[in-house]
Amino acid sequence: MTTIDQNSFFYHIYPLGACAAPHFNDFQSEPQPRLRQIFGWLDHIQSLGANALYLGPVFESGSHGYDTADYYQVDRRLGTRADLAELSQALHARGMHLVLDGVFNHVGRSFWAFRDLQANGLNSPYKNWFADVRFDQRSPLGDPFSYAAWSGHFDLVKLNLAEPAVKQHLFDAIRMWKEEFQIDGIRLDAADALSFEFMRDLRSFTNQLDPNLWLMGEVIHGDYRQWANPDMLHATTNYELYKSLYSSFNDNNFFELAYSLNREFGTPGIYRDIPTLYNFADNHDVSRIASQLQDKQMLHLLYFLLFTVPGIPSIYYGSEFGFEGLKQSDDWNLRPAFDLPQLQNQAHPHDLRGWIGHLAGLRQSQPALRFGNYEEVLVASSQFAFSRESGTEFVVAVVNSDSEQVDLILPLHGKANWRFVDLLNPEESFTCDPSGNLQISLRPNQAMLLKNG
């Protein structure tokens, strides 16, 4: 069992943005300990109920962090290895876990081995470190050779992960991250572009290094079981849930979300054996959820669902304050500076801090929300209900996104005469009839979390 499991709840920080680092690295300046700002955010993060931190790119890079220049050095715009090690110690002292970004598919043009290739061409001992290097043509950026790039972005040079020396270089870096920073997991950037052979070798290596080291891959499309399985990764990002969450509200169509959840986690669900899929409402690559939702009054309902469906929930820094931002060409607007003292002294029209903390507490207090199976109870355009059951614990999550009150009859088979309490409003209780039907009324934009007892 990995140390990161269904008990986890992530807070996600993109450090270069959150810590207000310059957008470009001059590779000359003295390290600036911007990472140390995060020490002052830990009380806030824990007040939300988070017990794990996913820290975006922290290693030396040219710009946005996903253009690595050195896997063994912390980006000078953020600080030093000692700064990161002390941050990790502070997290672990609080009982929190740390996951770092592993950008293994590609590097930046400032990567030291690529610089050697530029300088020495055919004579470079690193010419086999990069994919599809050819010396009979030029790259679009003017190099006297061509190479494979990630998704057509030639500032991101694809590594040749079949080259043993490359694999050894990366695995040695991971060993250093584990030994020096005591990381608990790695989020593999662009996992859907990595070879399955590399990920099998990676899992074999980490199993020997630390069987509890959690491997989670960034995967957008496809069947997540191709990546998350006993031989490769423990989990992937759940982009299917991300999409169905916001569009079900925008389109007034909970059938989309219900379909996805049945497909993923229902009785025949294909991901029932991947209990730690990484669920999110937004992240550093997509528009902020407060900008995605057409009706921002639905934010509390969306987060209610995020914390009650199967998988591990994640909050992207600032979204608890209702940060907005639409995806643009360079994404920096999705990754703004995080001035916590100032934010805490301001009023926010869509402040979700208390609500998220409450939901996290409920999730932690109800094993069924962390470990229970999933079963659809009712679905309509503006209403949705599902149950989570674990042992003797049984809870039903219900949402009404309509602007009017609605009366519902929930068919809870086998629950004849059971009494339920709404954990969001404990003075309200309901009792199933002898047929197992539970009649409830929901106000406009109301959620209920009904527990037997």
Alpha helices in 296-430 (DSSP H): 299-308, 340-344, 353-365, 367-371
What is the reported pLDDT for 194? 98
396, 450 Cβ separation under 8 angstroms: yes
| Closest-CA residue to 14 (of 31, 37, 30) | 37
Q: How many CA atoms lie within 13 A of 135 on its CB side?
A: 9
The residues of the chain scoring below 50 in pLDDT are 1
What is the reported pLDDT for 2? 62
Residues 6+ apart with CB under 8 A from 341: none
CA distances from 182 to 2, 20, 87, 136, 367 (A): 14, 25, 10, 45, 28
Q: Specify the pTM.
A: 0.97
CA 341, 242, 349 angle in degrees (round to 5)? 35
Phi, psi of 410 (to 5 degrees): -95, 120
10, 54 Cβ separation under 8 angstroms: yes
SS3 at position 48: coil
- Chain-centre distance of CA 445, in angstroms? 26
428, 328 Cβ separation under 8 angstroms: no
Question: Which structural domains are found in the chain, ordered by start?
Answer: 10-105+161-365 (3.20.20.80), 110-160 (3.90.400), 371-452 (2.60.40.1180)
Nearest 10 degrees: CA dihedral of 311, 314, 320, 326? -110
Nearest 10 degrees: CA dihedral of 55, 56, 60, 63? -150
Instruction: Quote the CA–CA distance of 400 and 156 in Å, as a whole number.
Output: 45
24, 75 Cβ separation under 8 angstroms: no
Residue the block writes with tokens 């929901």? 442
H-helix or E-strand spanning residue 245: helix 239-250
What is the reported pLDDT for 362? 98
